[in-house]
Amino acid sequence: MRIGVLALQGAVTEHIVSIEKTGAEGLPIKRVEQLEEVEGLIIPGGESTTIGKLMSKYGFIEAIRDFSNQGKPIFGTCAGLILLAKQIASGEPGHLELMDITVARNAFGRQRESFECDLDVKGIEEPIRAVFIRAPLINEVGPEVEVLSVYKDEIVTARQGNLLVSSFHPELTDDFRLHQYFTDMVEASGTTA
């Protein structure tokens, strides 16, 4: 199984390391045509404004929408969550607008408020160590969206069909269970070659 990691900016190598721990192959994706080589895609953490601009510039908006419409799974972490959301709470325009959620950027405050904690995630047995860095929150979810974890009553992990998002950074720890959850989604999607 081959999983792409969108490599325009951000924590790309960490995701590739986590993906390879699940036994799948991880590939950095810099050009749209490389999407044909993978069965699932991770949109990593980074600066959502930077990644968003580069995505538009290089034709990734349409290409990733097509990828999703084919039922291929996409996992967005932190900035990736913002990029997948239909709506951004501040009223700024969305990017991929694929997932029926409204997100608030930098919802916990500035870097000094960034933190890590233990977090229960539905479908994963023991809590995982979640690292939140200038993290976004999901304010609202549509009827199709399943909430997988909450932190202090706020939604931080969710799934809608082939789309998975987390506010935190599972790639910054050695624990690859959320990546395993994602590769299981890719396996089950039946799009693997």
Partner 1 sequence: METGTTRVKRGMAEMQKGGVIMDVMNAEQAKIAEAAGAVAVMALERVPSDIRAAGGVARMADPTIVEEVIKVVSIPVMAKARIGHYVEARVLESLGVDYLDESEVLTPADEVFHINKREFTVPFVCGAKDLGEALRRIGEGASMIRTKGEPGTGNIVEAVRHMRVINGQIRRVTNMSLDELYNEAKNLGVAYDLLLEVHQLGKLPVVNFAAGGVATPADAALMMHLGADGVFVGSGIFKSDNPEKFARAIVEATTHFTDYKLIAEVSKNLGTPMKGIDIATLTPAERMSERGR
Which CB atom, from 132 or from 145, has the smaller least distance to partner 1?
Answer: 132
Spatial neighbors of 47 by CB under 8 A, at least 6 apart, are 9, 10, 79
Binding flag, residue 175, partner 1 (CB under 8 A): no
* By CB under 8 A, residue 83 contacts partner 1: no
Which of 113, 144, 146, 184 is close enough to bind partner 1 by CB under 8 A?
Answer: 113
Question: In the chain, how long is the greatest CA-to-CA distance?
Answer: 45
**CB-based contact 108:137 (threshold 8 Å):** yes
Residue that has been written with the tokens 């500035």 in this structure? 110
The yes or no reply on residue 54 touching partner 1 (CB under 8 A) is yes
Count, residues near partner 1 per rule CB under 8 A:
36
CB 9 to partner 1: min, Å: 4
> Among 1, 9, 25, 89, which residue interacts with partner 1 (rule: CB under 8 A)?
9
Please report the beta strands in 44-193, taking only residues with DSSP state E, as ranges in sequence order.
74-77, 85-88, 99-104, 115-119, 128-132, 137-141, 146-151, 154-160, 163-166
Kindly list the residues in this chain that would bind partner 1 in the complex (CB under 8 A): 7-14, 30, 45-47, 49-50, 53-54, 57, 78-79, 105-106, 110-117, 131-134, 169, 172-173
